[in-house]
A = this chain, B = another copy of it.
Amino acid sequence: MSVPARDRTSAARGRRPARPSGDDRELAILTTAERLLAEKPLAAISVDDLARGAGISRPTFYFYFPSKDAVLLTLLDRVVDEADAAMRRVFDAPAAGLRDGWRRAITAYYETFRAHRALTLAWAEARSGNAEVRELWAQVFEAWVQQCADAIQAERDRGAAPSGLPARDLAVALNSMNERVLYATFSGDGPAVAEEAVVDVLLEVWLTTIYQRTMPAA
């Protein structure tokens, strides 16, 4: 099972054409952004902060990126690629048993987003206000849901899992849960599951809902 390409226009997001020298500046902006995001929320970072951090003036920033959000989008593209790659690795390697297969899939997301905590939080922050970010997330999420639904259906077809909820609905619910729970754990505000326990908690919910029949007639 391969991860479907999402056809993101990764290269077209940054500078207008592809330039020779100013690549360093573009990179400087990106690294400045990730550094600042570790310190303060996206809303508290101005274009001027980004520009100064990269050693250029504010107007010059606009030569490299059309807006602050475009920088975030570029950063996001990278993380998504990382997550997809991690996912592909999971599906390529043979799983040592049922539990282990699902565990590795959940761990793949967990690790990827944990490695980019600040970015993950900024992502959520930008999603509400920016249509492009929203659409990028929708694409990514759809791919995961589809993949997950296929996997559930395969388990049902081979008789390992009972039928019940439509596979897609279950996949949406489980992926939504993961997103929200991981976000809460990483952001630390509001009730959350402890970081050491979070993968196991999610895994139990996944296994139970996928492999167990719904409640016995009460």
Contact = CB atoms under 8 A, between A and B. Distances in A.
5 contacts: A43-B129, A98-B215, A138-B190, A176-B181, A208-B214
A209 interface: yes
A209 B211 contact: no
Nearest to A215: B207
Chain A interface helix/strand/loop/mixed = helix
A181 B173 contact: yes
Contacts of A43: 128-129
Interface string A168-199: 01101111110111001000011111000100
A110 interface: no
A111 B218 CA distance: 25
A141 interface: yes
Tell which of A98, A170, A173 has the most Cβ of chain B within 10 Å: A173
A40 to B, nearest CB: 12
